[in-house]
Chain A
Amino acid sequence: MTSLNKDRDLWIADPSGGRALAYTASCCLNIQIRSSDR
């Protein structure tokens, strides 16, 4: 069995670590939100 992604990258291990950008990628605008924003 050859795993093409690492165990630590599985969703069940870390569902969204480091992936916040994907959620801010709306259909019309892709923005990197700064943590200092309100």
Chain B
Amino acid sequence: MRAYVYLVVGGMYLTRRLLTYPLPDGRWLLINTLSGAIDIIAPAVAEALKQLLQNERVSLDPAIETRLRERGYLFDNPAHEDRRFQELFSTMMERRKREPVQFAICPTYSCNLRCTYCFEGDLTAGPLRAMSPEQVRNAFVAIETIRRERHPGANAHLILFGGEPLMRPVKPCVALILQEAELRGFGVGVVTNGVQIEDFLDLLLPKKRLIRQIQVTIDGPQEVHDRRRPFKSGRGSFSRIVRNVEVLLQEGLPITIRINVDRENISSLPNLMAYLEDCGWTLYPNFSCYIFPVTAYTDSNQTGILAEDEVLSELQRMFGGVGGQMPGFALYGFKVLGHVASVLNPSSLPLRMPPLFTYCEANGLRYFAFGPDGLIYPCGQGVGRQPLAIGRFHPVFELWEDRCALWERRSVLTVPQCQSCPLATLCGGGCAFGAWVRTGSLMEPNCQGSPQVLDRYIDRMISHIMHLAPM
């Protein structure tokens, strides 16, 4: 009783980083975006919290009050809550320093495919321009300098990116990149469309131990894939990719199939999964597969986008309902639903998500992309868009600190509209590149309907949620 009186006198402040969802039986679902707690409370407790939200004094059962404090709902005062939030932010920033820094090298921006949803747009269609040997060497000089001066002690990872990095005209450039990577002990990931891999086997196989992953995109069974990822001529790319992946799997290289899903192809997933099994690929230990929703980073050319809740809903419908295990593939690219779905339905999203103070590794400058234009970009989505460049590596290396600072600083604590948003740690402020494209500023949020996505998801999951905690 004494403790209770003390707490009332000392204050009982309900976090504003709170999302509440009334359930049909009078209980509330609480999602705490400071602590990560997700709880269901009885109607009487819900009433008390309602009063607290209106800054009224309430009487709470001491056991419930203790529990609400343990779960990060109740604080002594707003300053106490803010201190916990800042502590969490600092911890996350410290942990992030231990995450690898990614360096993407684009030997060219050109591509031999014309995918219907490509975010790079016209950039891939111009005359082929490849990095010169001098540019490649200067890129590695820049990488070493960035590592030494900005991220000392952090692991680093190299990614071959583009455009399409495995095209015959840029083979000498790719050979030099692999050679330089080997000299410096970098692991290498390759993001490729897979159509000309057969011409790169003599480079890739001798460097097998460097290759961490070769990612090839297949968007569906042949008919679907060929419609979405054709050659310039309009001819389909499926058969060549399948033939090449087969060889890489047999050679023991680590292959990841990425499936970009949107409204056009999601219903073909069961057929694609069956095809991959029929091919015997899923039996290879060096094979993995993941789904990534096509994302509207820009407003152009992006019809048929599925929101996160729509993707999950479709997958649950096709693969066995809400508790069903997703067969044979991982799901990535989930932000606003990442944490909530991993708690409410871990069979659909088993990967536990941390609080997102930033949207991705571009914020915090932990991603550097090097293009054949000699410029350095902070984000893979933004390559070739010169106003987004943060420096150059050729003919001389320099980082433009004013631009770097914007990317480095962007977080839910610095974007004004995110500072008091209760969803902020679920969405990380949204994609910075998208914010820049839409508004011209990195310091704008890029909400992309996150509140509605979460509301719709909870609505669809109501009966499952009530089943998790019978009254």
B70 touching A7, Cβ below 8 Å: yes
Bound CA–CA A20/B230 (angstroms): 35
Looking at chain A's contact residues, the main secondary structure is: loop
Bound CA–CA A36/B425 (angstroms): 31
Q: Find A5's partner among B157, B333, B338, B343 (CB 8 Å cutoff).
A: B343
Looking at chain B's contact residues, the main secondary structure is: mixed
Chain B residue total in the interface (Cβ 8 A): 66
Chain B nearest Cβ from A19, distance in angstroms: 5
Chain A nearest Cβ from B469, distance in angstroms: 4
Using A4-B39, A21-B351, A25-B332 as known contacts, say yes or no to A33 and B92 having CB atoms under 8 A apart.
no
B155 touching A19, Cβ below 8 Å: no
Bound CA–CA A5/B352 (angstroms): 11
Q: Mark A1-38, 1 if CB is under 8 A from B, else 0.
A: 11111010111100110111111111111111111011
A23 touching B354, Cβ below 8 Å: yes
A5 touching B380, Cβ below 8 Å: no
Q: Mark B48-90, 1 if CB is under 8 A from A, else 0.
A: 0000000000000000100110111000000000001000100
B351 CB contacts on chain A under 8 angstroms: 19, 21-22
Bound CA–CA A9/B157 (angstroms): 29
Bound CA–CA A11/B87 (angstroms): 11
Bound CA–CA A30/B214 (angstroms): 10
Bound CA–CA A11/B34 (angstroms): 8
Chain B nearest Cβ from A3, distance in angstroms: 5
Chain B nearest Cβ from A30, distance in angstroms: 5
| Cβ-closest 7 pairs across A and B | A11-B36, A2-B469, A16-B354, A37-B187, A4-B38, A2-B40, A12-B35
